[in-house]
Structure 1
Amino acid sequence: MNRPATALPRLAIVYDNGAVSPVEIAHAATGLCDIVLVLDPSAPAVAASLPVLEAIGTLVPHPPGTAAEKTGRRLAELGVSGITTFTDALLGDTAELARTLGLRFHTPEVAQRLADKLHQRARLAAAGMPVVRFAELSCAAGIEEALATVRLPAVLKPREGAGSRSTFPVATAEEFRRVAGELLAAGEDRLIAEERLVGDPDVAGARWGDYVSVESVVDGDRITHIGITGKLPLVEPFRESGVFFPSTLPETAANAVLDGTTQALRALEVTSGVTHTEFKLTPEGPRLIEVNGRLGGFVNDLVSRSTGVGMLRIALENALAAGAPVPARIDAAAAGAEPPRIAFQRFAPPPVTAVAVDRVEGAKEARRIPGVVRVEVVRRPGEPVDWRRGTQSFAAIVYGRTAGHRELDATLAAVDDTLRITYAARPHAPAGLSS
């Protein structure tokens, strides 16, 4: 297909609900590329936003079971010169399309390691990296073997998925057997059991979470770490309550997680894209949780508001092999330079007993708190909630920016005192969660 020499290149994005919104994609692509969205029109998140998606770019249907060769021919007709995704579940489809078209992306083998926690652990272990004890768990007959391999305390979670979906800590053998049995009976037949890492709250600071993520850009043999994202403490059982950029990590711990990220990316043979790598901060040092082969959720907003650098724009440029320079370590001020401002998002995850939002109070007042720039009420009174959906279950998100971490602490305290959400709840924690 011949196109005018002045036309923008076309970038295919294999799309579903993921780390960035359609509006963010459209904004980041302005002046850089035209967007082609490869999607399943019947997927709930896609169907709900079709008018917006149609306004952003050309839509190419790719329902489950569609051959990569068929969709690839349509993309070739459109003249796409790059491809990427921001959804974990679509890494494999994107890799197959990239291979069909001869475009840069994770190979199908690398995509499998990034999307499937079992394959990722096995590959890291084979490369000689320290990994937590882990075991596959796909049927009731394998529960005892998995328990013996992993030992206690442990974590049970799906091999594929993001946002802490259906992730359970277990402390006793009885609890391990019960939770594993209930997950398998509920249809979660692709599980991984892992050694549970115990965090050290003193590494990042007592007010902050005991885990962080590293945001990186990979271009061939070159790995550039953009910065380290800090976290607020997890809420039961393993759900995020907030994120901020940059983190509070001291230099020694920061260097350890950056070095560990480089080793993991090389071991997994990642050669392109933006990645999001999580570490637990333990008394023995940072331990790798997992590597995600796409831009992290919330990261584009955080980094942009903190530093002015658009991570999503960088991801699009990387997919197009545009060759734009990538900034390094923007989370730390250069000698004599002002440190970046702290951008944050405070989440409101529902309690595990909640079934629906009852009341939302204080949103208007929270918007007037110094440092708060936006309060997004995600679930209105009467709307259902389910903690098992992880980050997709938030009732509200508060966005803000402060001059430093001390100011961040004060702002978060004011938000927590002001924004009040109550829920209709079942009388006990749901099956599968220890009381």
Structure 2
Amino acid sequence: MSKVLLVHAKGGPPLGHVLSRTAARAEVHLLALSALPPSVAGAARGLCATVETPAAPQRADLVSLIVSRARAVGADAVLTFSEYAVVAVADACEVLGLAGAGGAARLARDKRLMRRTWREHGLPQPLFRPVATEEELHRAARELPGPLLLKAAWSAGSTAHQIIRAPHEVSAAWRRSRDVMAESARLGFSELHVESADADFVVEQIVTGTAGDWFDEPGWGDYVSVEGVVAGGTFHPVCLSARMPTVEPFTERAGITPAPLSPDAQERVVELARAAVDALGLRDCGIHTEIKLGAGGEMWLIETAARFGGAMTVPQIEEVFGLDLVGMLVDHLLGRSARWPDRALTAAQARGAAGSLVVLAVDGRGRAWPDRRTWDFPRVAADVPLSRSSELSVVAESSLPDGCPVPVYDPAAGANTMAALCLLSAADARTVLRDFETLVDALPRVLPAARTEEVSV
């Protein structure tokens, strides 16, 4: 039986989903760079031939660690679904001579290199500058048209994003972004392979999105993502996912599959995603490309990742389109045949719709809740009135246990301050959107108030 070394770190699709689909295709050896979620730890040991948790000193040279472990178990493929381990796994696959994203993985991870590559190919994107010091940020703020967005070059999940609207905000934004990156590293949400990655930043123009020119009804966010894969250097789009509007500065609240765009609009979005992926030169990996939608059909590239979309994007695709992307990618990396869609699938081929909602302590307008609340999914499931055919569940491994206080939303920390991740299945994308709007409005009302002693812990 073929053997796969699965490198686990924080982020990406739920580990339970990934493990079960990988184990159905091969003997799995798990290299856990992050602690296993308690809800899946037992199942993981049952699904995996071995589970290795290296000590901190062993992780100093992560590529060597992965290579050594792959050779020890006789791995025929090595893969990860975590943004923070993508580069290390790609480099290890190069050493081992196995299929992987290739050396271009850095271009799909470092936002500075990504934007430079796209600029060289003449692709539409916001104006930008790489910055490594506060002085460089001040200079960029004078040269670029505002408002501006400061991003950590190696971050994920909208972590360390800061909006700069005026020159006097530059110093505070710089300090806050650096502080958040340091805190994210402490929590395990940071690049695992590139030394001093928390010191690299990019600042870019905030372009004006317009969802109304792309969707037939209000309530949608002004960007979409194209989900797909690169196999043997060829990009295969699978489908599009839509979004609810982000929470300031640009924290994602919900992703919904499929995106209800017209066929012509979807085709134009896919072709821009194809140009973006082709420019990066990736070889064998999942793909997640985000694109901002503007007035009059204008589009801008936000970013491309050399892995599948995080949160519940992969399970949503399986539910809606019947495609096991994890299993198909494993098959491809093992040299087996994997039949990817001939073109990006649409709502016409979907079996209903599905979406994932990040629970943040902000209302539908992005305003902070007036008081602290306690996470209680049974209360939510019982008291929030959703559409008749909709089904709501909670992703346990990505959520706080019931009874925990919902964190105060921190705009700079982004998804690091989430309380839970919920999955909703419905008849169509519009129903998912409306149910999520209902859910967001109801949460501060139906969740129980947090006790003083809970908040102070």
Q: Does TM, scored on the shorter chain, surpass 0.5?
A: yes
Structure 2 stretches of 5 or more lacking a match?
183-197, 452-457
Counterpart CA distance in 2 for 1:422 and 1:135 is: 45
Tell me, yes or no, if structure 1 residue 13 matches structure 2 residue 6. yes
Give 1:85 shift: 0.9
- Alignment check: 8 A CA contact 1:273 1:318 kept: no
SS in structure 1 at match of 2:218: coil
Corresponding residue of 1:342: 353
Q: Confirm or deny: 8 A CA contact 1:16 1:39 kept in the other structure.
A: yes
Match of 2:345 in 1: 331
Aligned pair partner of 1:374 in 392, 405, 412 = 392
Asked if 1:291 corresponds to 2:307, the answer is no
Give how far 1:197 is off.
1.6
- Quick check: 1:274 aligned with 2:266? no
Query: 2:273 is paired with a residue of what secondary structure?
Result: helix
Comparing 377-386 with 97-106, greater Cα deviation is found at: 377-386
Say which of 28, 32, 35 aligns to 1:35: 28
Partner of 2:432: 408
Counterparts in 2 of 1:37 and 1:44: CA distance versus 1, 3 Å: closer
One-letter amino acid of the structure 2 residue matched with residue 77 of structure 1: A
- Tell me if structure 2 keeps the 8 A contact 1:375–1:396: no
Q: Do residues 59 (structure 1) and 51 (structure 2) align?
A: yes
Question: Contact 1:370–1:411 at 8 Å: present in 2 too?
Answer: no
1:86 matches 2:81? yes
Which moved further from structure 2: 301-310 or 396-405?
396-405
What does the per-residue CA deviation read over 1:217-246, in whole Å, with 9 as the maximum and x for residues that have no partner? 111243211010011111222111211111
**Cα gap change, 1:245 to 1:141, in 2 (>3 Å):** same
Q: Is the Cα–Cα contact under 8 Å of residues 140 and 203 in structure 2 kept in the other structure? A: yes
1:363 aligns with 2:365: no
1:265-312 deviation per Cα after TM superposition (whole angstroms, max 9, x unaligned): 111001211100000111151211000110101211111121221222
Name which of structure 1's ranges 202-211 and 184-193 shifts more when overlaid on structure 2: 184-193
Deviation at residue 331 of structure 1 after TM alignment: 3.0
In the aligned structure 2, how far is the partner of 1:72 from the partner of 1:110? 19
Specify the alignment match of 2:99 in structure 1: 104
- For 1:309 and 1:333, the matched residues in 2 are separated by 14
Aligned match of 2:151 in 157, 160, 163? 157
Q: 1:333 to 1:362 in 2, by over 3 A?
A: closer
Q: Deviations over 1:108-145 (max 9, x none)?
A: x3121111111111111123323321112222222222
Rounded Cα–Cα distance in structure 2 between residues aligned with 1:136 and 1:195: 12
Letter in 2 for 1:56: L
Q: Is the partner of 1:230 in helix, strand or coil?
A: strand
After superposition, what is the alpha-carbon deviation per residue over 1:247-274, rounded to whole angstroms, capped at 9, x for unaligned?
0222332122111111111110012111
Change (3 A) 1:26 1:44: closer
Match of 2:142 among 117, 129, 148: 148
Letter of the 2:85 counterpart = L
Partner deviation per Cα, 1:176-225 (whole Å, 9 max, x = no partner): 34212433466553221111121102123422111000011111243211
Q: In 1, distance between residues paired with 2:76 and 2:284?
A: 15
TM-score by length of 1: 0.85
Aligned equivalents of 2:90 and 2:249: distance in 1? 33
1:300 aligns with 2:314: yes
Say if 1:341 and 1:401, in contact at 8 Å, map to a contact too.
yes
Question: As a proportion of its length, which structure holds more helix?
Answer: 2
Q: Which residue of 2 aligns with 1:183?
A: 177
2:405 match: 383
Name the residue aligned to 2:275: 263
Structure 1 stretch displaced more, 12-21 or 364-373: 364-373
Q: Residue 239 of structure 1 contacts residue 349 of structure 1 at CA under 8 Å; is this kept in 2?
A: no
Q: Distance in 2 between matches of 1:241 and 1:342?
A: 17
Shift of 1:369: 4.8
Give percent identity, aligned residues only: 20
Displacement of 1:339 after TM fit? Answer: 4.7
Residues 422, 134 of structure 1: alpha-carbon distance in 2 compared, 3 angstrom cutoff: farther
1:74 is aligned to 69
- Alpha carbons 1:72, 1:97 under 8 Å: kept: yes
- Say which SS state the counterpart of residue 364 (structure 1) adopts: helix
CA contact 2:353–2:429 (8 Å) conserved in 1: yes
Aligned twin of 1:193: 203
Distance 1:406 1:75, change over 3 A: closer
Q: CA RMSD in A?
A: 2.8
Seen in structure 2, the aligned counterparts of structure 1 residues 143 and 48 have a Cα distance that, compared at 3 Å, is farther
Deviates more, 1:143-152 or 1:410-419: 410-419
The answer (yes or no) to whether the contact 2:392–2:425 under 8 Å persists in 1 is: no
Aligned partner of residue 64 in structure 1, secondary structure: helix
Number of residue pairs aligned between Structure 1 and Structure 2? 412
Alpha-carbon contact 1:366-1:372 (below 8 Å) kept? no
Note if contact 2:209-2:293 (Cα within 8 Å) is conserved in structure 1. Answer: yes
Structure with greater strand share of residues: 1
1 or 2 for the larger relative contact order (CA 8 Å, sep ≥6)? 2
SS at match of 1:65: helix
Shift in Å at residue 148 of structure 1? 2.6
Corresponding residue SS for 1:19? coil
Secondary structure at the aligned position of 2:99 is classed as: coil
Residues 320-375 of structure 1 show CA distances to partners (whole Å, capped at 9, x for unaligned) of 232221123463266xxx65311122332124867964464533233875233233
